[in-house]
A and B are shown apart, each in its own frame.
Chain A
Amino acid sequence: MGAFGLAAAWFGVVVFRTSSMVRSALALLFSMAAIGGMFLAMEAEFLGVLQLMMMATEMAIMAIFMVMYMMDPGGLSGMDMTHQKRASLAAGALGALGALAVAVLADWGPIEARVPAATAQVRELGIEIMERSMLIFETAGVTILTAMIAATAIAIQSRRR
Protein backbone atom coordinates (compact mmCIF):
# COMPACT_ATOMS: atom_id res chain seq x y z
CA MET A 1 0.00 0.00 0.00
CA GLY A 2 2.88 2.30 0.74
CA ALA A 3 4.11 1.88 -2.83
CA PHE A 4 0.73 2.88 -4.23
CA GLY A 5 0.68 5.83 -1.86
CA LEU A 6 4.09 6.99 -3.02
CA ALA A 7 3.01 6.63 -6.64
CA ALA A 8 -0.16 8.61 -5.98
CA ALA A 9 1.77 11.45 -4.33
CA TRP A 10 4.49 11.44 -7.01
CA PHE A 11 2.02 11.64 -9.87
CA GLY A 12 0.14 14.30 -7.93
CA VAL A 13 3.28 16.42 -7.93
CA VAL A 14 3.86 15.73 -11.63
CA VAL A 15 0.37 17.13 -12.39
CA PHE A 16 1.50 20.63 -11.46
CA ARG A 17 5.12 20.38 -12.56
CA THR A 18 4.80 19.33 -16.17
CA SER A 19 3.96 21.95 -18.76
CA SER A 20 2.34 19.57 -21.26
CA MET A 21 -1.36 19.56 -20.56
CA VAL A 22 -2.07 16.03 -21.73
CA ARG A 23 0.75 14.78 -19.55
CA SER A 24 -0.68 16.70 -16.65
CA ALA A 25 -4.15 15.18 -17.10
CA LEU A 26 -2.78 11.67 -17.51
CA ALA A 27 -0.53 12.15 -14.48
CA LEU A 28 -3.68 12.94 -12.54
CA LEU A 29 -5.19 9.77 -14.00
CA PHE A 30 -2.28 7.68 -12.76
CA SER A 31 -2.42 9.37 -9.38
CA MET A 32 -6.10 8.44 -9.16
CA ALA A 33 -5.36 4.92 -10.42
CA ALA A 34 -2.74 4.60 -7.67
CA ILE A 35 -5.43 5.65 -5.19
CA GLY A 36 -7.57 2.88 -6.66
CA GLY A 37 -4.65 0.54 -6.08
CA MET A 38 -4.57 1.67 -2.46
CA PHE A 39 -8.26 0.80 -2.16
CA LEU A 40 -7.51 -2.67 -3.52
CA ALA A 41 -4.63 -3.01 -1.05
CA MET A 42 -7.04 -2.02 1.73
CA GLU A 43 -9.34 -4.81 0.54
CA ALA A 44 -12.13 -2.52 -0.61
CA GLU A 45 -12.31 -4.37 -3.90
CA PHE A 46 -15.50 -2.90 -5.32
CA LEU A 47 -14.45 0.68 -4.62
CA GLY A 48 -10.98 0.07 -6.02
CA VAL A 49 -12.25 -1.32 -9.31
CA LEU A 50 -14.88 1.41 -9.54
CA GLN A 51 -12.24 4.06 -8.94
CA LEU A 52 -10.02 2.60 -11.67
CA MET A 53 -12.92 2.58 -14.11
CA MET A 54 -14.36 6.02 -13.42
CA MET A 55 -11.07 7.85 -13.32
CA ALA A 56 -9.91 6.51 -16.68
CA THR A 57 -12.88 8.11 -18.37
CA GLU A 58 -12.93 11.26 -16.27
CA MET A 59 -9.31 12.15 -16.70
CA ALA A 60 -9.25 11.39 -20.42
CA ILE A 61 -12.14 13.79 -20.87
CA MET A 62 -10.21 16.27 -18.75
CA ALA A 63 -7.29 15.88 -21.16
CA ILE A 64 -9.39 16.81 -24.17
CA PHE A 65 -10.85 19.84 -22.41
CA MET A 66 -7.40 21.01 -21.44
CA VAL A 67 -6.25 20.77 -25.04
CA MET A 68 -9.33 22.71 -26.08
CA TYR A 69 -9.09 25.55 -23.59
CA MET A 70 -5.43 26.04 -22.76
CA MET A 71 -3.43 28.58 -24.68
CA ASP A 72 -0.40 26.32 -24.88
CA PRO A 73 -1.50 22.69 -24.57
CA GLY A 74 1.73 21.16 -25.73
CA GLY A 75 3.74 23.18 -23.23
CA LEU A 76 6.38 23.98 -25.82
CA SER A 77 6.77 27.71 -25.21
CA GLY A 78 7.29 27.43 -21.47
CA MET A 79 4.56 29.80 -20.31
CA ASP A 80 4.16 30.28 -16.60
CA MET A 81 0.63 29.34 -15.70
CA THR A 82 0.80 30.01 -11.98
CA HIS A 83 0.19 32.92 -9.68
CA GLN A 84 0.56 33.65 -5.95
CA LYS A 85 3.06 30.83 -5.81
CA ARG A 86 4.51 31.46 -2.39
CA ALA A 87 1.18 31.91 -0.65
CA SER A 88 -0.30 28.80 -2.14
CA LEU A 89 2.82 26.77 -1.40
CA ALA A 90 2.51 27.89 2.20
CA ALA A 91 -1.19 27.07 2.28
CA GLY A 92 -0.59 23.65 0.79
CA ALA A 93 2.20 22.87 3.23
CA LEU A 94 0.11 24.14 6.12
CA GLY A 95 -2.88 22.02 5.08
CA ALA A 96 -0.73 18.93 4.68
CA LEU A 97 1.03 19.53 8.01
CA GLY A 98 -2.27 20.04 9.81
CA ALA A 99 -3.70 16.84 8.40
CA LEU A 100 -0.44 15.02 9.15
CA ALA A 101 -0.48 16.22 12.74
CA VAL A 102 -4.02 14.95 13.18
CA ALA A 103 -3.16 11.67 11.48
CA VAL A 104 -0.16 11.00 13.69
CA LEU A 105 -1.24 12.50 17.00
CA ALA A 106 -4.88 11.50 17.24
CA ASP A 107 -5.86 8.35 19.07
CA TRP A 108 -7.70 6.30 16.47
CA GLY A 109 -8.74 3.54 18.82
CA PRO A 110 -8.36 -0.18 18.19
CA ILE A 111 -7.53 -1.36 14.68
CA GLU A 112 -9.72 -4.02 13.12
CA ALA A 113 -7.55 -6.67 11.53
CA ARG A 114 -10.32 -8.69 9.95
CA VAL A 115 -12.38 -7.55 7.02
CA PRO A 116 -15.36 -9.22 5.32
CA ALA A 117 -14.64 -11.26 2.18
CA ALA A 118 -14.94 -9.41 -1.12
CA THR A 119 -18.11 -11.26 -2.19
CA ALA A 120 -19.78 -10.45 1.11
CA GLN A 121 -18.69 -6.84 0.74
CA VAL A 122 -20.32 -6.46 -2.66
CA ARG A 123 -23.53 -7.95 -1.32
CA GLU A 124 -23.59 -5.90 1.86
CA LEU A 125 -22.80 -2.68 0.00
CA GLY A 126 -25.70 -3.38 -2.35
CA ILE A 127 -28.02 -3.91 0.59
CA GLU A 128 -26.72 -0.74 2.23
CA ILE A 129 -27.39 1.24 -0.93
CA MET A 130 -30.86 -0.15 -1.45
CA GLU A 131 -31.96 -0.13 2.17
CA ARG A 132 -30.52 2.22 4.76
CA SER A 133 -28.85 4.73 2.41
CA MET A 134 -31.40 4.50 -0.34
CA LEU A 135 -32.56 8.09 0.00
CA ILE A 136 -28.98 9.36 -0.14
CA PHE A 137 -28.27 7.28 -3.21
CA GLU A 138 -31.40 8.45 -4.97
CA THR A 139 -30.54 12.04 -4.09
CA ALA A 140 -27.13 11.54 -5.67
CA GLY A 141 -28.83 10.28 -8.83
CA VAL A 142 -31.17 13.26 -9.02
CA THR A 143 -28.25 15.61 -8.36
CA ILE A 144 -26.35 14.09 -11.27
CA LEU A 145 -29.34 14.62 -13.53
CA THR A 146 -29.65 18.24 -12.37
CA ALA A 147 -25.95 18.85 -12.92
CA MET A 148 -26.13 17.33 -16.41
CA ILE A 149 -29.00 19.60 -17.39
CA ALA A 150 -27.40 22.64 -15.79
CA ALA A 151 -24.02 22.05 -17.44
CA THR A 152 -25.64 21.53 -20.83
CA ALA A 153 -27.69 24.68 -20.37
CA ILE A 154 -24.58 26.72 -19.55
CA ALA A 155 -22.46 25.28 -22.30
CA ILE A 156 -24.95 25.33 -25.15
CA GLN A 157 -24.75 28.20 -27.57
CA SER A 158 -27.64 30.60 -27.28
CA ARG A 159 -29.83 30.59 -30.36
CA ARG A 160 -30.88 34.21 -30.19
CA ARG A 161 -27.71 35.65 -31.69
Chain B
Amino acid sequence: MNFVAVLLMLLAGTYWVAVLEDWVSTGRFRPAGPVLSGLALLGRESLVPRKPDRIFFEVAPALLLVSAVLAAAVLPLAPGLILADLATGALFVNAALAYVMVALLMAGWGPDGAYAMVGGFRFLGQLVAYSMLIVMPITAVAMRSESLLTTEIVTSQASLWNVVYQPLGFVLFLLAAMAVAFLPPFDLPTAPGELAGGVEAEYTGWRLAVMRLGRAVLVLTVALAATVFYLGGWLGPVLPPWAWSASKTLAVAAAMLFVGRYVPRLREADVLAWCWKYGIPLALLNIFYVGVVILGVA
Protein backbone atom coordinates (compact mmCIF):
# COMPACT_ATOMS: atom_id res chain seq x y z
CA MET B 1 0.00 0.00 0.00
CA ASN B 2 2.68 2.42 1.10
CA PHE B 3 4.79 1.31 -1.82
CA VAL B 4 2.11 2.29 -4.31
CA ALA B 5 1.43 5.56 -2.50
CA VAL B 6 5.10 6.56 -2.65
CA LEU B 7 5.37 5.66 -6.31
CA LEU B 8 2.24 7.65 -7.12
CA MET B 9 3.58 10.64 -5.23
CA LEU B 10 6.90 10.43 -7.05
CA LEU B 11 5.06 10.22 -10.35
CA ALA B 12 2.93 13.26 -9.51
CA GLY B 13 6.03 15.17 -8.43
CA THR B 14 7.79 14.26 -11.65
CA TYR B 15 4.83 15.54 -13.60
CA TRP B 16 4.93 18.85 -11.78
CA VAL B 17 8.66 19.15 -12.35
CA ALA B 18 8.07 18.64 -16.05
CA VAL B 19 5.35 21.32 -16.04
CA LEU B 20 7.64 23.70 -14.16
CA GLU B 21 10.54 23.10 -16.52
CA ASP B 22 8.27 23.81 -19.46
CA TRP B 23 7.04 26.95 -17.73
CA VAL B 24 10.45 28.45 -17.01
CA SER B 25 11.86 27.61 -20.42
CA THR B 26 8.94 28.72 -22.62
CA GLY B 27 7.27 31.25 -20.34
CA ARG B 28 3.88 29.62 -20.77
CA PHE B 29 2.08 27.67 -18.07
CA ARG B 30 0.59 24.55 -19.65
CA PRO B 31 -0.57 21.92 -17.14
CA ALA B 32 -1.21 19.42 -19.93
CA GLY B 33 2.11 20.08 -21.69
CA PRO B 34 4.09 17.02 -20.54
CA VAL B 35 1.27 14.64 -21.45
CA LEU B 36 0.94 16.13 -24.93
CA SER B 37 4.65 16.18 -25.68
CA GLY B 38 5.01 12.69 -24.19
CA LEU B 39 2.25 11.37 -26.44
CA ALA B 40 3.81 13.17 -29.38
CA LEU B 41 7.16 11.51 -28.68
CA LEU B 42 5.54 8.09 -28.32
CA GLY B 43 3.78 8.57 -31.61
CA ARG B 44 7.00 9.24 -33.48
CA GLU B 45 9.32 6.68 -34.93
CA SER B 46 12.30 5.83 -32.73
CA LEU B 47 15.27 5.81 -35.06
CA VAL B 48 18.42 3.84 -34.44
CA PRO B 49 21.52 5.57 -35.80
CA ARG B 50 23.97 3.81 -38.07
CA LYS B 51 26.54 1.53 -36.46
CA PRO B 52 25.44 2.04 -32.86
CA ASP B 53 26.79 0.22 -29.86
CA ARG B 54 23.39 -1.38 -29.56
CA ILE B 55 23.61 -2.54 -25.95
CA PHE B 56 24.62 0.88 -24.62
CA PHE B 57 22.16 2.66 -26.85
CA GLU B 58 19.23 0.65 -25.51
CA VAL B 59 20.32 0.45 -21.89
CA ALA B 60 21.27 4.10 -21.28
CA PRO B 61 17.78 5.70 -21.01
CA ALA B 62 16.57 2.90 -18.76
CA LEU B 63 19.65 3.16 -16.56
CA LEU B 64 19.13 6.91 -16.17
CA LEU B 65 15.55 6.33 -15.03
CA VAL B 66 16.46 3.43 -12.72
CA SER B 67 19.30 5.25 -10.98
CA ALA B 68 17.13 8.31 -10.34
CA VAL B 69 14.32 6.13 -8.94
CA LEU B 70 16.78 4.17 -6.76
CA ALA B 71 18.14 7.39 -5.29
CA ALA B 72 14.58 8.51 -4.54
CA ALA B 73 13.80 5.14 -2.96
CA VAL B 74 15.87 5.82 0.15
CA LEU B 75 14.49 9.33 0.73
CA PRO B 76 11.46 9.59 3.03
CA LEU B 77 8.36 11.56 2.07
CA ALA B 78 6.79 11.21 5.51
CA PRO B 79 7.18 8.81 8.45
CA GLY B 80 6.60 5.38 6.92
CA LEU B 81 6.33 6.74 3.38
CA ILE B 82 9.69 5.45 2.16
CA LEU B 83 10.50 2.64 -0.23
CA ALA B 84 13.61 1.34 1.52
CA ASP B 85 14.91 2.73 4.80
CA LEU B 86 18.50 1.56 4.40
CA ALA B 87 20.98 1.81 7.24
CA THR B 88 23.33 3.46 4.76
CA GLY B 89 20.70 5.64 3.10
CA ALA B 90 22.74 8.83 2.86
CA LEU B 91 25.57 6.93 1.16
CA PHE B 92 23.20 5.06 -1.10
CA VAL B 93 21.97 8.34 -2.57
CA ASN B 94 25.50 9.01 -3.75
CA ALA B 95 25.91 5.52 -5.12
CA ALA B 96 22.69 5.74 -7.11
CA LEU B 97 23.51 9.21 -8.44
CA ALA B 98 26.92 7.97 -9.63
CA TYR B 99 25.11 5.72 -12.11
CA VAL B 100 23.50 8.76 -13.72
CA MET B 101 26.96 9.48 -15.05
CA VAL B 102 27.35 5.91 -16.28
CA ALA B 103 24.03 6.20 -18.09
CA LEU B 104 25.06 9.44 -19.78
CA LEU B 105 28.44 8.01 -20.74
CA MET B 106 26.66 5.07 -22.36
CA ALA B 107 24.19 7.37 -24.09
CA GLY B 108 27.13 9.39 -25.37
CA TRP B 109 29.16 6.47 -26.66
CA GLY B 110 26.32 4.26 -27.84
CA PRO B 111 24.86 6.07 -30.86
CA ASP B 112 28.21 6.65 -32.61
CA GLY B 113 27.72 10.39 -33.02
CA ALA B 114 30.23 13.16 -32.42
CA TYR B 115 27.94 15.52 -30.51
CA ALA B 116 26.65 12.75 -28.29
CA MET B 117 30.15 11.54 -27.46
CA VAL B 118 31.38 15.03 -26.59
CA GLY B 119 28.33 15.42 -24.34
CA GLY B 120 28.94 12.11 -22.59
CA PHE B 121 32.58 12.79 -21.90
CA ARG B 122 31.77 16.32 -20.75
CA PHE B 123 29.48 14.89 -18.12
CA LEU B 124 32.29 12.65 -16.90
CA GLY B 125 34.43 15.75 -16.40
CA GLN B 126 31.50 17.39 -14.67
CA LEU B 127 31.24 14.40 -12.32
CA VAL B 128 34.88 14.83 -11.30
CA ALA B 129 33.95 18.38 -10.39
CA TYR B 130 30.69 17.92 -8.51
CA SER B 131 30.93 14.49 -6.88
CA MET B 132 33.00 15.69 -3.92
CA LEU B 133 30.54 18.54 -3.37
CA ILE B 134 27.72 16.02 -3.03
CA VAL B 135 29.56 13.72 -0.64
CA MET B 136 31.14 16.28 1.67
CA PRO B 137 28.02 18.31 2.59
CA ILE B 138 26.16 15.04 3.19
CA THR B 139 29.02 14.03 5.50
CA ALA B 140 28.42 17.16 7.56
CA VAL B 141 24.69 16.40 7.67
CA ALA B 142 25.36 12.85 8.84
CA MET B 143 27.72 14.20 11.48
CA ARG B 144 24.86 16.12 13.03
CA SER B 145 22.35 13.29 12.92
CA GLU B 146 24.96 10.69 13.96
CA SER B 147 23.35 8.27 11.55
CA LEU B 148 23.21 7.46 7.86
CA LEU B 149 19.49 6.66 8.06
CA THR B 150 17.65 9.30 6.06
CA THR B 151 14.72 9.23 8.49
CA GLU B 152 17.11 9.91 11.39
CA ILE B 153 18.57 12.80 9.40
CA VAL B 154 15.12 14.37 9.16
CA THR B 155 14.28 13.90 12.84
CA SER B 156 17.65 15.35 13.84
CA GLN B 157 16.48 18.65 12.36
CA ALA B 158 13.44 18.94 14.62
CA SER B 159 14.92 21.83 16.63
CA LEU B 160 16.70 23.62 13.79
CA TRP B 161 16.75 22.92 10.07
CA ASN B 162 20.10 22.20 8.57
CA VAL B 163 19.73 25.08 6.14
CA VAL B 164 20.16 27.42 9.10
CA TYR B 165 22.58 25.14 10.96
CA GLN B 166 25.01 24.79 8.03
CA PRO B 167 24.03 27.25 5.28
CA LEU B 168 27.37 26.83 3.51
CA GLY B 169 26.73 23.11 3.07
CA PHE B 170 23.26 23.84 1.72
CA VAL B 171 24.53 26.20 -0.96
CA LEU B 172 27.28 23.80 -2.04
CA PHE B 173 24.89 20.85 -2.08
CA LEU B 174 22.33 22.75 -4.11
CA LEU B 175 24.90 23.75 -6.72
CA ALA B 176 26.22 20.19 -6.90
CA ALA B 177 22.66 18.88 -7.14
CA MET B 178 22.05 21.15 -10.11
CA ALA B 179 25.21 19.77 -11.70
CA VAL B 180 24.05 16.17 -11.13
CA ALA B 181 20.75 16.84 -12.82
CA PHE B 182 22.57 18.79 -15.56
CA LEU B 183 20.29 21.77 -15.14
CA PRO B 184 21.43 25.08 -16.57
CA PRO B 185 24.00 26.59 -16.02
CA PHE B 186 25.56 23.14 -15.70
CA ASP B 187 23.79 21.64 -18.73
CA LEU B 188 27.08 20.81 -20.44
CA PRO B 189 26.18 17.27 -21.56
CA THR B 190 23.05 18.35 -23.40
CA ALA B 191 23.92 22.00 -24.11
CA PRO B 192 21.06 23.00 -26.41
CA GLY B 193 22.25 25.48 -29.00
CA GLU B 194 25.85 24.38 -28.83
CA LEU B 195 25.96 20.58 -28.96
CA ALA B 196 22.54 20.20 -30.60
CA GLY B 197 21.24 18.23 -27.66
CA GLY B 198 24.47 16.40 -26.83
CA VAL B 199 23.70 13.04 -25.32
CA GLU B 200 20.06 13.39 -26.34
CA ALA B 201 20.94 14.30 -29.92
CA GLU B 202 20.62 10.82 -31.40
CA TYR B 203 17.59 9.72 -29.40
CA THR B 204 14.12 9.94 -30.89
CA GLY B 205 10.62 8.65 -30.19
CA TRP B 206 9.93 6.52 -27.14
CA ARG B 207 13.61 6.25 -26.21
CA LEU B 208 13.81 10.03 -25.93
CA ALA B 209 10.60 9.96 -23.90
CA VAL B 210 12.20 7.53 -21.43
CA MET B 211 15.27 9.72 -21.25
CA ARG B 212 13.26 12.90 -20.63
CA LEU B 213 11.25 11.06 -17.96
CA GLY B 214 14.48 9.91 -16.30
CA ARG B 215 15.77 13.47 -16.33
CA ALA B 216 12.57 14.80 -14.74
CA VAL B 217 12.70 12.11 -12.05
CA LEU B 218 16.33 13.04 -11.48
CA VAL B 219 15.46 16.71 -10.92
CA LEU B 220 12.73 15.67 -8.50
CA THR B 221 15.13 13.32 -6.70
CA VAL B 222 17.85 15.89 -6.11
CA ALA B 223 15.23 18.40 -4.95
CA LEU B 224 13.85 15.79 -2.57
CA ALA B 225 17.38 15.06 -1.35
CA ALA B 226 17.96 18.75 -0.63
CA THR B 227 14.65 18.83 1.24
CA VAL B 228 15.47 15.77 3.32
CA PHE B 229 19.05 16.74 4.10
CA TYR B 230 18.61 20.47 4.67
CA LEU B 231 15.00 21.64 4.82
CA GLY B 232 13.73 19.32 7.51
CA GLY B 233 11.93 16.88 5.21
CA TRP B 234 8.39 16.33 6.39
CA LEU B 235 8.70 18.53 9.50
CA GLY B 236 6.36 21.48 9.73
CA PRO B 237 3.23 22.69 11.53
CA VAL B 238 -0.46 22.24 10.67
CA LEU B 239 -0.25 20.52 7.28
CA PRO B 240 0.16 16.72 7.07
CA PRO B 241 3.81 15.56 6.72
CA TRP B 242 3.59 14.46 3.10
CA ALA B 243 2.25 17.87 2.07
CA TRP B 244 5.26 19.55 3.67
CA SER B 245 7.65 17.23 1.84
CA ALA B 246 5.87 17.79 -1.43
CA SER B 247 5.68 21.57 -1.21
CA LYS B 248 9.28 21.95 -0.08
CA THR B 249 10.53 19.63 -2.80
CA LEU B 250 8.61 21.43 -5.52
CA ALA B 251 9.80 24.77 -4.19
CA VAL B 252 13.43 23.61 -4.34
CA ALA B 253 12.91 22.23 -7.84
CA ALA B 254 11.32 25.47 -8.97
CA ALA B 255 14.17 27.49 -7.46
CA MET B 256 16.77 25.33 -9.20
CA LEU B 257 15.00 25.57 -12.55
CA PHE B 258 14.41 29.31 -12.19
CA VAL B 259 17.92 30.32 -11.11
CA GLY B 260 19.58 28.47 -13.94
CA ARG B 261 17.59 30.38 -16.48
CA TYR B 262 19.36 33.65 -15.67
CA VAL B 263 22.93 32.41 -15.55
CA PRO B 264 25.04 31.81 -18.66
CA ARG B 265 26.26 28.27 -19.23
CA LEU B 266 29.59 27.69 -17.55
CA ARG B 267 32.64 26.37 -19.29
CA GLU B 268 33.81 22.86 -18.50
CA ALA B 269 37.25 24.03 -17.37
CA ASP B 270 35.74 26.74 -15.17
CA VAL B 271 33.39 24.31 -13.48
CA LEU B 272 36.29 21.97 -12.69
CA ALA B 273 38.59 24.74 -11.51
CA TRP B 274 36.01 26.45 -9.30
CA CYS B 275 34.75 23.22 -7.78
CA TRP B 276 38.23 22.09 -6.83
CA LYS B 277 39.75 25.44 -5.89
CA TYR B 278 36.83 26.95 -4.00
CA GLY B 279 34.14 24.29 -3.57
CA ILE B 280 36.15 21.58 -1.87
CA PRO B 281 37.96 23.88 0.59
CA LEU B 282 34.60 25.44 1.48
CA ALA B 283 33.08 21.98 1.94
CA LEU B 284 35.95 21.03 4.25
CA LEU B 285 35.44 24.28 6.13
CA ASN B 286 31.77 23.35 6.49
CA ILE B 287 32.66 19.94 7.94
CA PHE B 288 35.10 21.59 10.35
CA TYR B 289 32.54 24.20 11.40
CA VAL B 290 29.85 21.58 12.02
CA GLY B 291 32.31 19.52 14.03
CA VAL B 292 33.20 22.51 16.20
CA VAL B 293 29.53 23.38 16.75
CA ILE B 294 28.62 19.79 17.65
CA LEU B 295 31.47 19.55 20.15
CA GLY B 296 30.58 22.98 21.52
CA VAL B 297 26.94 22.03 22.05
CA ALA B 298 27.85 18.71 23.65
Contact = CB atoms under 8 A, between A and B. Distances in A.
Bound pair (A, B): yes
A56 interface: yes
Contacts of B55: 23
Nearest to B127: A57
Interface of B: 53, 55-56, 86-88, 91-92, 94-95, 98-99, 101-102, 105-106, 109, 121, 124, 127-128, 131, 147-149
A129 to B, nearest CB: 14
Contacts of A22: 53, 56, 105, 109
A98 B130 CA distance: 44
Given A26-B102, A26-B106, A60 B127 contact: yes
A69 to B, nearest CB: 14
A49 B121 CA distance: 25
Contacts, number: 64
Contacts of B87: 45-46, 117-119, 121-122
A56 B53 contact: no
B94 to A, nearest CB: 5
Given A50-B91, A119-B149, A45 B102 contact: no
B105 A60 contact: yes
Nearest to A53: B95
B129 to A, nearest CB: 12
Most B CB atoms within 10 A — which of A29, A49, A63, A118?
A49
A20 B53 contact: yes
A75 to B, nearest CB: 10
30 contacts: A20-B53, A22-B53, A22-B56, A22-B105, A23-B55, A26-B102, A45-B88, A46-B88, A46-B91, A49-B91, A49-B95, A50-B91, A53-B95, A57-B98, A57-B101, A57-B131, A60-B101, A60-B105, A60-B124, A63-B105, A63-B109, A64-B121, A64-B124, A118-B86, A118-B88, A119-B87, A119-B149, A121-B87, A122-B147, A122-B148
Given A22-B109, A46-B88, A46-B91, A53 B98 contact: yes
Given A46-B88, A57-B131, A60-B102, 15 more contacts: A20-B53, A22-B53, A26-B106, A49-B91, A49-B92, A49-B95, A52-B95, A56-B98, A56-B102, A63-B105, A64-B121, A64-B124, A118-B88, A119-B87, A119-B147
